[in-house]
């Protein structure tokens, strides 16, 4: 294992300086990786090969000792496309699977990336770790609080390394911002704002139900979700805006921003949550989740506000997304473009002077997604979950808080969290914590 760690350190340095697949031909890369001992190589399988599933796999393939040996997807056209994408990068074609469970039977697969819709994550992850695989699972980790808790238990039972794709944890600007928040320079922080204003999002047009596209196993795509006729709005990408499969922008963007906010503030669960919003921008489009939402979380000593809006970009502090820590001395604003500190002023001998030194806008360095992948590989090679930037326990905190916001919205109540009993004080809210599986699928038992 020490030789594997040394090897990894060398490849990480290489990977940090250049993207190997974009520089070498597939043949050259194959010759290069053949020099790596089999014991130092990691064989990956990918479940859910479109969108972020492929983005995650692509980031891992920039690391020389990572091989993509298997792909699992319910859409044959996606399988064929990604097979050729891997071939272009590495000169080999991975094996294809229509049922991920068959892929997990391969003892040569060390690691699985999960890029399926949210309603599949819990089953995929529990099956993978029970089959002895390490896992990189896309965010949010699950579509209910109960599933989040099951996934944490599964990792703890099987001991595998499980990273969550909340890659902002690996961004340089977030590290710097969190360090500043924890320094105390902002003074007492009484409010943290998190937001996502998504001007690119247009109405989801109403479309009729119809047959699934050729090559799509739609029943497998539905999996544990309620049985419904195929509709293109509920399929690739747009599944995010339907409660059966996901939680809208609250869980899509929310987990990224809430994760940073709660980590910096050193908290995990609120005392109360209330939410208000609706379909105000596009009341007649096909989506179900709210296009406008404000959620207020109460923690000890401060509140956190989540807000999102589709169709407009006019977010807080002139940014479409971000987190603002509002303290008595200054406000720190951080997002994917960088971070800055805006000082409060005070009257000193008749002059307005800043309470702290201004920090001008500081841009990030490197690719956070690539760094997140490298961190995961390093942790797998060391077989040490403690090295992870965003372990499943960490990812569950953001996902559960985001789910709490949706539960408050659905109940229309101010709801209170009973941390001792791990439930709400409201029966309706507790019902919404639970996972309900359909079509013969069973909620995993760990």
76: phi > 0 → left, psi -120 to 50 → alpha, else beta; which?
Answer: alpha
Per-residue model confidence (pLDDT) at position 37: 77
Q: Is the pLDDT of residue 424 over 90?
A: yes
Burial of 87 (0-12, 13-18, 19+ CB in 10 A): middle
Per-residue model confidence (pLDDT) at position 7: 46
20 with 75, same domain? yes
82 with 159, same domain? yes
Does a structural domain hold residue 330?
yes
Q: Is the pLDDT of residue 200 over 80?
A: yes
Q: Greater confidence, 346 or 20?
A: 346
Q: Is the pLDDT of residue 22 over 60?
A: no
* pLDDT tens readout for residues 278-322: 999 999 999 999 999 999 999 999 999 999 999 999 999 999 999
The CA distances from residue 446 to 132, 154, 161, 443, in Å, are 14, 6, 17, 10
User: What would the mean pLDDT of 218-246 be, rounded to a whole number?
Assistant: 96
The domain that contains 310 carries what CATH number?
3.30.360.10
Determine the straight-line distance between the first and last CA of the chain, rounded to whole angstroms.
Answer: 29
Separation of alpha carbons 171 and 193, rounded Å: 19
Per-residue model confidence (pLDDT) at position 38: 81
Per-residue model confidence (pLDDT) at position 26: 52
Separation of alpha carbons 258 and 172, rounded Å: 17
Does a structural domain hold residue 234?
yes
Per-residue model confidence (pLDDT) at position 313: 95
pTM for this prediction: 0.91
Confidence of residue 11 (pLDDT cuts 50, 70, 90): very low
Helix (H, G, I), strand (E, B) or coil at 297: strand
Q: Domain containing 209: what range?
A: 172-365+414-425
Does a structural domain hold residue 431?
no
Number of domains in the chain: 2
* pLDDT tens readout for residues 81-92: 999 999 999 999
Does a structural domain hold residue 257?
yes
Per-residue model confidence (pLDDT) at position 2: 42
Long-range contacts of 406-410 (CB under 8 A, 24+ apart): 406/247, 406/248, 406/250, 406/251, 406/275, 406/432, 407/145, 407/273, 407/432, 407/433, 408/273, 408/274, 408/275, 408/295, 409/250, 409/275, 409/276, 409/277, 409/290, 409/293, 409/295
Q: Is the pLDDT of residue 378 over 80?
A: yes
Q: Is the pLDDT of residue 94 over 90?
A: yes
Q: Is the pLDDT of residue 8 over 90?
A: no
Per-residue model confidence (pLDDT) at position 23: 45
Nearest to 403 by CA among 269, 223, 207, 302: 269
The domain that contains 8 carries what CATH number?
3.40.50.720
* pLDDT tens readout for residues 425-438: 999 999 999 999 99
255 with 349, same domain? yes
Does a structural domain hold residue 143?
yes
223 with 181, same domain? yes
Helix (H, G, I), strand (E, B) or coil at 390: coil
18 with 142, same domain? yes
Confidence of residue 29 (pLDDT cuts 50, 70, 90): low
Beta-ladder partners of 338:
335
287 with 379, same domain? no
Nearest to 251 by CA among 89, 120, 141: 141
Does a structural domain hold residue 408?
no
Please report, rounded to a whole number, the percentage of residues in the chain having pLDDT higher than 70.
92
239 with 141, same domain? no
E strand segments, 161-223: 162-164, 189-198
* pLDDT tens readout for residues 154-165: 999 999 999 999
DSSP 349: T
User: What would the mean pLDDT of 346-356 be, rounded to a whole number?
Assistant: 91
Structure tokens at 18: 């250049």
137 with 186, same domain? no
User: What element of type H or E holds 341?
Assistant: strand 338-343
282 with 346, same domain? yes
* pLDDT tens readout for residues 97-109: 999 999 999 999 9
Specify the range with the lowest mean pLDDT, choosing from 30-34, 53-57, 393-397, 441-445.
30-34
Separation of alpha carbons 227 and 223, rounded Å: 9
Q: Is the pLDDT of residue 115 over 70?
A: yes
Structure tokens at 348: 């000193």
Beta-ladder partners of 193:
305, 324
331 with 270, same domain? yes
Does a structural domain hold residue 298?
yes
Q: Greater confidence, 25 or 224?
A: 224
User: What would the mean pLDDT of 176-189 be, rounded to a whole number?
Assistant: 98
User: What would the mean pLDDT of 407-411 be, rounded to a whole number?
Assistant: 98
186 with 235, same domain? yes
378 with 421, same domain? no
Three-state secondary structure string covering 121-160: HHHHHHHHHHCCCEEEECCCCCCCHHHHHHHHHHHHHHCC
Per-residue model confidence (pLDDT) at position 330: 98
User: What would the mean pLDDT of 345-349 be, rounded to a whole number?
Assistant: 90
Does a structural domain hold residue 443?
no
């Amino acid at each position: 294992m020490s030789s594997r760690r040394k090897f990894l350190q060398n490849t990480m340095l290489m990977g940090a300086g250049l993207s190997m697949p974009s520089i070498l031909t597939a043949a050259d890369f194959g010759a290069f990786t053949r020099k790596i001992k089999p014991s130092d190589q990691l064989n990956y399988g990918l479940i859910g090969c479109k969108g972020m599933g492929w983005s995650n796999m692509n980031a891992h393939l920039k690391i020389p000792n990572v091989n993509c040996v298997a792909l699992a997807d319910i859409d044959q056209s996606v399988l064929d496309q990604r097979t050729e994408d891997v071939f272009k990068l590495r000169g080999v074609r991975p094996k294809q699977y229509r049922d991920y469970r068959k892929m997990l039977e391969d003892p040569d697969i060390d690691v699985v990336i999960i890029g399926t819709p949210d309603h599949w994550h819990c089953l995929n992850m529990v099956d993978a770790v029970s089959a002895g695989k390490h896992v990189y699972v896309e965010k949010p980790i699950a579509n209910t609080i109960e599933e989040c808790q099951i996934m944490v238990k599964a990792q703890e039972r099987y001991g595998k390394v499980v990273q969550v794709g909340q890659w902002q944890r690996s961004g340089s600007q977030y590290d710097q911002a969190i360090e500043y928040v924890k320094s105390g320079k902002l003074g007492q922080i009484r409010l943290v704002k998190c937001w996502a204003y998504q001007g690119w999002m247009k109405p989801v047009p109403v479309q009729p139900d119809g047959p699934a596209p050729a090559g799509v196993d739609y029943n497998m795509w539905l999996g544990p979700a309620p049985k419904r006729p195929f509709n293109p709005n509920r399929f690739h990408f747009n599944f995010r805006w339907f409660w059966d499969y996901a939680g809208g922008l609250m869980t899509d963007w929310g987990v990224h921003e809430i994760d940073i906010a709660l980590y910096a503030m050193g908290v995990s669960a609120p005392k109360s949550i209330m939410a208000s919003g609706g379909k105000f921008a596009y009341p007649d489009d096909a989506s179900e989740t709210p296009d406008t939402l404000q959620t207020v979380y109460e923690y000890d000593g401060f509140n956190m506000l989540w807000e999102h809006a589709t169709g407009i970009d006019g977010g807080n502090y002139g940014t479409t997304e971000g987190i603002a820590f509002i303290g008595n001395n200054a406000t720190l604003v951080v997002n994917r473009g960088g971070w800055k500190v805006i000082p409060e002023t005070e009257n000193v001998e008749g002059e307005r002077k800043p309470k702290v030194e201004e920090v001008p806008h500081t841009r990030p360095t490197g690719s956070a997604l690539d760094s997140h992948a490298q961190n995961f590989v390093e942790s797998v090679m060391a077989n040490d979950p403690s090295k992870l930037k965003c372990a499943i326990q960490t990812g569950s905190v953001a996902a559960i808080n985001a789910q709490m916001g949706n539960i408050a919205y659905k109940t229309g109540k101010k709801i209170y969290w009973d941390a001792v009993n791990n439930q709400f004080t409201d029966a309706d809210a507790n019902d919404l914590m639970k996972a309900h599986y359909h079509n013969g699928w069973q909620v995993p038992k760990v």
